[in-house]
Amino acid sequence: MGKVVLAYSGGLDTSVAIRWIGEKYGLEVIALTVDIGVEKDFASIKERALNAGAIKSIVLDAKEQFVKYFVFPALKADAIYEGNYPLATALGRPLIAKLLVDTAHQEGASAVAHGCTGKDNDQVRFDVSVAALDPELEIIAPAREWGMTREQEIAYAQRHALPIAVTSESPYSIDANLWGRSIECGVLEDPWIEPPEEVFAWTRSVNDAPDKPRYVEIGFDKGIPVSLNGEEMGGVSLINELNSLAGEHGVGRIDHVENRLVGIKSREVYEAPAATVLLKAHRALEDMTLSKGQLRFKERVAQEYADLIYNGLWYSALHQDLATYVESTQRFVTGTVRLKLFKGNCTVVGRKSPKSLYSLSLATYDKGDIFDQSASPGFIHIWGLPIRTQAQIQGQPEIGEADK
Ligand code: ARG
């Protein structure tokens, strides 16, 4: 009998998928659950997979890999999709795809499977990544093929006595990892409705947030956050710690109507406390250590970078090239940023760097000024030359002409 490795979350879709794949494809299912940073009861997920009919259940802790190879590169790039979404889900997929492929090779499986539907971005990310890593593997996406509604899935699960907890299934579709939590469906499908408090799990509402601000200091080394409040910390702990610190103050709630790759606009709510703080802090340090030209160009790269993460192109050569550029920009992005967390806001209030381009003696209006003001008229004379020339020859439109 052939084997397939299924990305297994423990939820309804993937539990039904175990049984369905056996029936439809006659393959034995190995369930693979990847831990990229959400506290879950992995022992009972394992048990559920086996009870649903998997021949083997594997849980892999990939938190370190996730942070080092996916989250931090995206942070260095300042990757934020459409100005809002720090890309947590989108960053997790290529790593899970890689582990599916590795596990398929280890287990001698000829196929991999995932629980995405035909409308998701995630199906694209999985399929494109798997094919880039091993084009020989077959890809099965049961939820894209079976055409069952949720009710039908539940009936199917009951008919086959599959171990699902229907009552505890929420009306929302949730995906979470260290970099953030994504919530969609239910009442959120109406973009006019304010997200109800119940969709949030990592962040307090502003009403309940403490009345006193909390200050945090993030230390960066070449674009990577390495310390929190002066204490050196590994990436996973630092992100975890910041998620709870910033979440406590209601920082990191995002409500976004976004453009999916498959052409649909969808309303998604995110909680990303650590990502919000770190992205802000990182940008603030870049403001100190990169030139105007570098900053401007990098902003364009950031948009491209975010798009390619969102669009499932992590394993593209374009990504390698952009990542190399981004890495080069980070060589002096070292220093400390101080932020204030207060009532849902995260504000940069201080920054310092041994490689800072900020020069007090150039900026100051007080004593100690070394800027040569007598050089300015000459500079302005030449700077304004083309505009003067043009104005003399072609004149200026009259102000207020439009009102006549
Ligand atoms: N819209 C986001 C993305 O495509 C998140 C999707 C995650 N899914 C969820 N169940 N909320 O990356």
Q: What is the residue-averaged pLDDT of the chain?
A: 95
93, 177, 184, 259: residue to mutate for ligand 1 pocket, most atoms within 8 A of CB: 184
Could you tell me where the DSSP H helices lie in 146-188? 150-159
Do 197 and 340 lie in one domain? The reply is yes
pLDDT at 131: 98
70, 96, 170, 268: residue to mutate for ligand 1 pocket, most atoms within 8 A of CB: 268
Do 95 and 196 lie in one domain? The reply is no
Condensed to tens digits (0 to 9), the pLDDT of residues 86-109 reads 999 999 999 999 999 999 999 999
| Cβ < 6 A, ligand 1 pocket | 89-90, 121, 173-175, 182-184, 268
Condensed to tens digits (0 to 9), the pLDDT of residues 99-144 reads 999 999 999 999 999 999 999 999 999 999 999 999 999 999 999 9
The yes-or-no verdict on residue 386 having pLDDT over 60 is yes
Whether residue 302 is contained in a domain is answered as no
Do 138 and 235 lie in one domain? The reply is no
* Confidence label for 399 from pLDDT (cuts 50, 70 and 90): confident
151 φ, ψ to 5°? -60, -45
Do 40 and 92 lie in one domain? The reply is yes
Q: Give the range of the structural domain holding residue 44, as residue numbers without chain letter.
A: 3-169
Do 7 and 80 lie in one domain? The reply is yes
Catalytic entry in 19, 48, 93, 125: 93
Q: In this structure, what token pair is assigned to residue 200?
A: 């949030």
> Domains in the chain: how many in total?
2
* Confidence label for 40 from pLDDT (cuts 50, 70 and 90): confident
pLDDT at 169: 62
Which of 169, 186, 205 represents a domain boundary (last residue)?
A: 169
Cα 234 to Cα 228, 237, 331, 352: the distances in Å are 10, 6, 20, 21
Do 225 and 143 lie in one domain? The reply is no
pLDDT at 401: 61
Residues 227-246 have a mean pLDDT of: 98
Which of 150, 169, 188 represents a domain boundary (last residue)?
A: 169
Do 269 and 188 lie in one domain? The reply is yes
The yes-or-no verdict on residue 168 having pLDDT over 60 is no
Whether residue 357 is contained in a domain is answered as no
- Return the closest-CA partner of residue 312 out of 61, 79, 126: 126
* Confidence label for 211 from pLDDT (cuts 50, 70 and 90): very high
* Confidence label for 39 from pLDDT (cuts 50, 70 and 90): confident
Whether residue 298 is contained in a domain is answered as no
Whether residue 375 is contained in a domain is answered as no
27 φ, ψ to 5°? -110, 150
205 counts as catalytic: no
Q: What is the CATH number of the domain that holds 73?
A: 3.40.50.620
Condensed to tens digits (0 to 9), the pLDDT of residues 272-305 reads 999 999 999 999 999 999 999 999 999 999 999 9
Q: What is the CATH number of the domain that holds 275?
A: 3.90.1260.10
Do 7 and 118 lie in one domain? The reply is yes
Q: Which sign, positive or negative, has the C-alpha torsion 19, 174, 258, 76?
A: negative
Whether residue 399 is contained in a domain is answered as no
Whether residue 57 is contained in a domain is answered as yes
Ligand 1 centre to CA of 27 (Å) is: 28
Ligand 1 centre to CA of 89 (Å) is: 6
pTM value is 0.95
**Contact predicate 139/111, CB 8 Å:** yes
Whether residue 315 is contained in a domain is answered as no
pLDDT at 104: 98
Residues 165-178 have a mean pLDDT of: 80
- Return the closest-CA partner of residue 263 out of 118, 48, 61: 118
**Contact predicate 335/356, CB 8 Å:** yes
Whether residue 266 is contained in a domain is answered as yes
Do 24 and 163 lie in one domain? The reply is yes
Do 183 and 165 lie in one domain? The reply is no
Cα 68 to Cα 232, 235, 264: the distances in Å are 16, 8, 32
pLDDT at 170: 76
Do 114 and 185 lie in one domain? The reply is no
Do 138 and 165 lie in one domain? The reply is yes
**Contact predicate 18/6, CB 8 Å:** yes
Which of 146, 169, 192 represents a domain boundary (last residue)?
A: 169
